[in-house]
Amino acid sequence: MAASLRRAAAGLLTRLQTSAPTVRTLSTSNSHSQSIPSSLWKLGRLNHVAIAVPDLEKAQALYKDVLGARVSEAVALPEHGVYTVFVELGNTKLELLHPLGEKSPIASFLQKNKTGGMHHICLEVDDIKAAVTELKEKKIRILSEEPKIGAHGKPVIFLHPKDCHGVLVELEQA
């Protein structure tokens, strides 16, 4: 009986070994990492998620009075065509965006999305000029010729959403 169980177990083990899928692992050896070109810039942390809102005061009240977050005052950024309000979270921020002027990109966003919604994400980079140069070489479209000064007083650029899987990405100098 014991011999018969051993043969059955050995047969099962053989079938499992031959029918099991092959699993490949990535090597972390130095020879592979040396062949990957290094970038002149590094991607940093998530700075904020921007939300377009049709009523800035109601949105401020939701985050401050209902959810208990620290909420800034509204700041006009005419060069970007927006009012901004920042909501402080433990690990990042929300940026509430409201149109400023008729040519505001947020006005056109709200025409398509009447109740508002996520507009973009903002990622920090350690060298925005190097990032722009390399991204252009990689055929990622930049929505402005040069970085502009953003809501935090630092240079920012936006990457075309069609080149970023449908997401408008803002890069901000860390």
What pLDDT, in 10s, does the model give residues 25-60?
Answer: 444 444 444 555 567 899 999 999 999 999 999 999
Tokens, residue 71:
């909420």
Q: Tell me the pTM.
A: 0.76
Under 8 Å between Cβ of 142 and 128? no
What pLDDT, in 10s, does the model give residues 65-118?
Answer: 999 999 999 999 999 999 999 999 999 999 999 999 988 999 999 999 999 999
Residue (of 88, 99, 90, 46) closest to 63 by Cα position: 88
